Amino acid sequence: MKRKKAIFIFLLGIFLNSNAQQQSIYNFEKLVSLTSATEKQQKKLKKALKERSEDYTSASENENFDKRFAAIFNEKQQTAFYKAQISEAVIQKKLHFRYDKLVSTYPFPKDYAKMMEAILYDFNYKKEFVLQKHKFDKEKRELKYNSIHNAQKLWVATQIELIKKATYTWQKTTAKCPDLRSSKHTDFIDYHFYIELSKNCDAKYNGSVKKRIAELVLSESLMSLGENIADCRATLYMSWDSKLKNLDAVAKQEAQKILALELSKELKQKLSASKIFEINNIDWKHRNQALASGEKKQNKLHKTKEIKLLKEKALKIGLDKAQINKLISLLEKKDAAIEALKKKNTSDNLSTLFEGTPRKSKSQILKDFSSELTSVISKKEFAALIGDGLKPGAKKKANKEFEKIIGTHKLTKEQKEKVYERVALYYFNEAVTNAYYKSKSTLRKQKLSVLRYKFEKDYRALMNNFDIKIEKKQKTDNRTFQW
């Protein structure tokens, strides 16, 4: 009830103010001044005003006068007449009735408020002009007035849609990163509002909008917010990517730092191109770059740890400082060569250097490493240093051969233990020999042949002690023994 009363008083004030202004316009000197009337027009105007004064009983006489006025003056002079009847107070009241509600309801940019006020003023001015010009032609008045009014409604609806869209972009960003809600986000919403506005902006204001976008792109608050968004999204991504989240703690920090940096760069590029300032999906190349950095850090840490363990073990087995330094230098040289070839180094462990069948380019690097290694440490030192790593492979071969022996000969528990000890030792020595002489094919074969001969001789003697006769082979078989 109070609202209806307020609206009634508001409209009554507009009507009384407008009516008073309209009556004051029917003054000869004022009309001559407004229209710059010629002498001939002035004579006709005096006559029209006299007739109006004599016959004026109601608003209908104003209609008759307007018709006579239109016959006296041209379009430009008539426009001046109708504009003079427009009440600035009426326009301001209507303007702020809508404008105040808009700016108090929606978070429009503060610097856009003046622009909005000017545009709304223009709409209201045009409507008032139509009311004055066609006040006695209801059909034309309503047609033109409604056309302007509907254009105003559409414009207002568009502004609301744009600010809602900008606000939603912020809400979507904070939904993924709740900690950002306390951040200063005014520039974020302003920026997104302006870039949407620039797509459908009146040419008159286009320059101002573009200028404001350019200012926001360079704002420190938006730059800082972009870094926070990048940090947040990087943290989230690290928590669910299977490879990234399984990195060591320090390596994970490195990967997250790189990912955040790349995402921050992406956001800055979007700013420069006046695009939406958000990260929807993590680019795969950013993820791979972060993973590569994390793995590189992790490998470096592991290498450092392995070098430390290698030093400790080398000292324990009696290597001197010069040998240790040379050994480490050879390892670094080998790793650098592999890295230069852009081949992924699967292991920095000495025990696995000589296993597998590496590709030709990598194989040559490893052969060179093996050749230089033999000039630094003896075979016995080599076995003591990396023997533990060779044992699993040797044990696997020993177990396979031992199964054949116990399947051929019936042995006691004690006999089995002695036989297995000999077989396991042979395969361990074979693994060490293969590894140590890897780069020297002819020498390796000779060493392996001697090793095999000694083992077979020892094996036959052991089995003869068990009253199990083993015939000496006429020809050595490289694959197995004559059990």
The parent domain of residue 241 ranges over: 220-298
Assess contact for 180 and 225: CB atoms under 8 A. Answer: yes
Residue 246 and residue 274 in one domain: yes
Question: CB atoms < 10 A from the CB of 169, how many?
Answer: 19
Q: Is the pLDDT of residue 415 over 70?
A: yes
Place of tokens 């003023």: 121
Residue 181, pLDDT score: 83
Structure tokens at 310: 């290698």
Residue 292 and residue 304 in one domain: no
Residue 210 and residue 238 in one domain: no
Residue 134 and residue 121 in one domain: yes
Cα distance between residue 69 and residue 37, in whole Å: 11
Vertex 311: Cα angle to 349 and 368 (nearest 5): 50
pLDDT digits (tens, 9 = 90+) for 132-169: 888 888 899 999 999 999 999 999 999 999 999 999 99
Task: Examine residue 471 and state whether it is found in any structural domain, yes or no.
Answer: no
Residue 449, pLDDT score: 94
Weakest-pLDDT range from 5-9, 101-105, 299-303, 319-323: 5-9
Residue 185 and residue 249 in one domain: no
Confidence of residue 125 (pLDDT cuts 50, 70, 90): very high
Residue 369 and residue 289 in one domain: no
Residue 145 and residue 261 in one domain: no
Residue 15, pLDDT score: 41
Task: Examine residue 478 and state whether it is found in any structural domain, yes or no.
Answer: no
Q: Is the pLDDT of residue 357 over 70?
A: no
Task: Examine residue 241 and state whether it is found in any structural domain, yes or no.
Answer: yes
- The pLDDT of 11-23, averaged and rounded, is 46
Task: Examine residue 477 and state whether it is found in any structural domain, yes or no.
Answer: no
* CA-wise closest residue to 455 among 379, 397, 410: 397
Residue 474, pLDDT score: 47
Task: Examine residue 483 and state whether it is found in any structural domain, yes or no.
Answer: no
Residue 476, pLDDT score: 46
Q: Is the pLDDT of residue 16 over 70?
A: no
Question: CB atoms < 10 A from the CB of 5, how many?
Answer: 9
Weakest-pLDDT range from 44-58, 347-361, 410-424: 347-361
Q: What is the mean pLDDT of the chain?
A: 83
Weakest-pLDDT range from 7-21, 35-49, 157-171: 7-21
Say which residue, 25 or 412, is predicted with more confidence.
412
Residue 407 and residue 316 in one domain: no
Task: Examine residue 68 and state whether it is found in any structural domain, yes or no.
Answer: yes
Cα distances (angstroms) measured from residue 154 to each of 98, 144, 148, 149, 431 = 14, 16, 10, 9, 84
Residue 117 and residue 213 in one domain: yes
Say which residue, 18 or 115, is predicted with more confidence.
115
Residue 57, pLDDT score: 54
Structure tokens at 357: 């069948």
Residue 372 and residue 404 in one domain: no
Residue 191 and residue 95 in one domain: yes
pTM above 0.85, yes or no: no
Task: Examine residue 450 and state whether it is found in any structural domain, yes or no.
Answer: yes
Say which residue, 441 or 6, is predicted with more confidence.
441
Confidence of residue 55 (pLDDT cuts 50, 70, 90): low
Residue 352, pLDDT score: 52
Residue 391 and residue 374 in one domain: no
Exposure string (b/e) for 340-360, b if CB count within 10 Å is 16 or more? eeeeeeeebebbebbbeebee
Percent of the chain with pLDDT over 90: 37
Contacts with 409 (C-beta within 8 Å, 6 or more apart), sequence order: 463, 466, 468, 483
Say which residue, 344 or 382, is predicted with more confidence.
382
Residue 263, pLDDT score: 93
Confidence of residue 195 (pLDDT cuts 50, 70, 90): very high
Q: Residues for the chain: how many in total?
A: 483
Task: Examine residue 472 and state whether it is found in any structural domain, yes or no.
Answer: no
Burial class (CB in 10 A: 0-12, 13-18, 19+), 335: middle
Torsion of CA 274, 275, 278, 279, to 10 degrees: -130
Domain-terminating residue out of 348, 379, 410:
379
Q: Is the pLDDT of residue 39 over 60?
A: yes
Burial class (CB in 10 A: 0-12, 13-18, 19+), 157: exposed
Exposure string (b/e) for 441-473, b if CB count within 10 Å is 16 or more? eeebeebbeeebeebbeebbebbeebebebeee
Domain-terminating residue out of 246, 274, 298:
298
Domain count, the chain: 5
Say which residue, 50 or 7, is predicted with more confidence.
50
Cα distance between residue 287 and residue 416, in whole Å: 55
Domain-terminating residue out of 231, 265, 298:
298
